[in-house]
């Protein structure tokens, strides 16, 4: 999956918390979030553009995070660990970099990348 395919897929599935997301889909979107946040904060010192950008990607980022956790066989509710300072973020990063579960799981069929 390419950068633009990932962005497109995440925004098209912005409210889809079902199914699975590949590692590449999640990490390309994470790069988009970092780049977009950085650019929007540089463009405007008042922080308005950053706030608008953050609100625009809130739901798609939660959805792709839930689908990524589904890919390793965990519930999307594990994202709540991000509310725990430092430790929660570290645990979530470990989850997000794990290899996907082989075969179908309770969240959907295995993702086959061509």
Contacts by 5-14 with C-beta closer than 8 Å and gap 24+? 6/32, 7/32, 10/60, 10/61, 10/63, 10/64, 11/60, 13/60, 13/63, 13/64, 13/67, 14/59, 14/60, 14/63
Structural domain spans, the chain = 3-97
> pTM above 0.85?
yes
Tens of pLDDT, residues 22-80: 999 999 999 999 999 999 999 988 889 999 999 999 999 999 999 999 999 999 999 99
User: What's the pLDDT tens digit per position in 61-75?
Assistant: 999 999 999 999 999
pLDDT at 113: 73
What does the pLDDT read at residue 114? 57
**Residue 46: predicted pLDDT:** 87
């Amino acid at each position: 999956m390419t950068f633009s395919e990932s962005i497109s897929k995440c925004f098209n599935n912005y409210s889809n918390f079902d199914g699975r997301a590949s590692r590449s889909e999640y990490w390309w979107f994470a790069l988009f979030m970092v780049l977009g946040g950085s650019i929007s904060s540089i463009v405007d010192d008042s922080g308005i553009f950053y706030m608008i950008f953050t609100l625009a990607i809130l739901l798609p980022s939660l959805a792709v995070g839930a689908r990524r956790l589904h890919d390793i066989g965990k519930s999307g509710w594990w994202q709540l660990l991000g509310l725990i300072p430092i430790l929660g973020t570290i645990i979530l990063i470990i989850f997000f970099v794990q290899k996907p579960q082989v075969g179908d799981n309770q969240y959907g069929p295995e993702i086959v990348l061509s």
